[in-house]
Amino acid sequence: MAHVLTLTGRRTAAAIFTAALLVPLAACGGGNDGKAAGDRATASAGGAPKADLTVLAAASLTDVFKTAGAAYEKAHPGTKVKFSFAGSQELAAQVKQGSPADALVTADTKTMDGLRSDTGAPAVIAKNRLVIATGKGNPEKVEGLKDLADSKLKVVLAAPEVPVGRYSKKILDAQKIAVKPVSQEPSVRAVLSKVELGEADAGLVYKTDAATATDKVEAIDIPDAQNAVASYPAATLKTSKNTEAAAEFVKWLSSPEAQKILQDAGFQRP
C-alpha cells in the first residue's frame, strides 16, 4: 500500500512540474499572438502597412508633392514618403536601370506607356497647361507665341525628349512658329531657372511652375486653342518591396484631399 502511495505521489509531482513548465510557454505564445494581432490592427487602421516609400516624380511636381507628402504622412502615421524629382525621361531611365523605388509619376502618358512592363495600371491624377515665362515685368514685352520667333529674343526650351519640350514643340509647330532656342534643358525647372536668373528672356514652362516663382518671373497665358494639355499619370512599380503601401499612396493621389492640394497649386482636374 505504501509503495502504491509513493508511486502515486511521484506521478502527481511530475504532473505539477510539467504544468509549471507549460504555463510560461503558453504565456509567451499568447503574448506573441497579441502583438501580431496588434501589428495587424495598426496596419489596417492606417489603410496600408507602414513603410518608407520612394516616389519618382516629374520635376514640375516638386513643390506640390512636398506639401502632399507631408499631408500623406500625417494621415498615415509611421509611413515616410521620399521623393526623387527629375525630368520624366530621366525617371524612365532610372526605372529601366532598376533604381529602387515604389511608385512613379510622370508629366506625360507617353513616358508612362513606355514602361508598361515595369508598372502597375496607371491613373491620371492631374493635368496642366503651358505658359510663356518672362522676366519680372515682362521687359521684352512678349505677348504671345509668335514673339518667340524674334531672333533678338533669347528663348530657352526643354529638350524634345522631355515632356514639356515635346509639348512646346507641338504647340509651336501647330502655329508654324520657328524658334531657335539658345539652349535646350533637361527639365521644366531648368528652363524656369534660366529665365529666373536672366540668362533667357523667355521660355515655355508649365503654368504651375511659373506660379512658384512669381517674384522673379511673369507668366504670359497661351490661349487654349494654341495650347497643349499635359497629363500626369501615377503608377506603382513592380519592383517595389512595399507593394501594398505603394498602391495605397497612388490611390490616395486621386482622393479629395490630394486633389485639393494639387488644384490649390494650379493643377487641373484629371
The yes-or-no verdict on residue 206 having pLDDT over 50 is yes
Going from the C-alpha of 76 to that of each of 66, 156, 245, 250, the distances in angstroms are: 15, 41, 10, 13
pLDDT digits (tens, 9 = 90+) for 24-74: 433 334 444 433 333 333 443 445 678 999 999 999 999 999 999 999 999
Predicted TM-score (pTM) of the model is 0.81
Q: Is the pLDDT of residue 10 over 80?
A: no
Nearest to 78 by CA among 36, 34, 39: 39
pLDDT-derived band at 3, boundaries 50, 70, 90: very low
CB contact set of 178 (below 8 Å; sequence gap of 6+): 149, 172
Is 48 inside any structural domain? no
Residue 84: count of CB within 10 angstroms of its CB: 14
Is the predicted pLDDT of residue 213 greater than 90, yes or no? yes
C-alpha cell at 210: 511659373
pLDDT band at 20 (very low <50, low <70, confident <90, very high): very low
What does the pLDDT look like over 121-162, one tens digit per residue? 999 999 999 999 999 999 999 999 999 999 999 999 999 999
Asked, for residue 204, whether it belongs to a domain, the answer is yes
Helix (H) / strand (E) element for 256: namely helix 256-264
Q: What pLDDT score does 23 carry? A: 38
What are the tens digits of pLDDT across the range 94-128?
Answer: 999 999 999 999 999 999 999 999 999 999 999 99
Q: What is the pLDDT of residue 48?
A: 60
200 pLDDT higher than 50: yes
pLDDT at 16 over 70: no
Query: Does residue 138 lie within any of the structural domains?
Result: yes
Indicate the Cα dihedral angle 72, 128, 193, 101, nearest 10°.
Answer: 40
CA 20: distance to chain centroid? 56
Contact between residue 58 and residue 87 where contact means Cβ atoms under 8 Å apart? yes
Residue 148 belongs to some domain of the structure: yes
Domains held by the chain: number: 1
For the chain, percent of residues with pLDDT exceeding 70: 82
pLDDT at position 197 is: 97
Interval 217-239 mean pLDDT: 97
- Grid cell, residue 26, equals 503558453
Range of the domain at 141: 129-229
Q: Is residue 107 part of a domain?
A: no
**pLDDT reported for residue 47:** 55
Q: Is the pLDDT of residue 15 over 50?
A: no
- H or E element: which one contains 231? strand 229-236
Return the closest-CA partner of residue 206 out of 83, 105, 107, 92.
107
Q: Residue 179 domain-assigned?
A: yes
Determine the Cα–Cα distance for residues 270 and 267; give it in Å rounded to an integer. 9
Whether 243 contacts 104, CB under 8 Å: no
pLDDT at 83: 98
Residues 136, 138, 142, CA angle at the centre, nearest 5°? Answer: 150
* CATH, residue 209: 3.40.190.10
Does 120 map to a domain? no
Q: Which cell numbers in the block locate residue 40?
A: 495587424
Would residue 58 count as lying in a domain?
A: no
47: left (phi over 0), alpha (psi -120 to 50) or beta: left
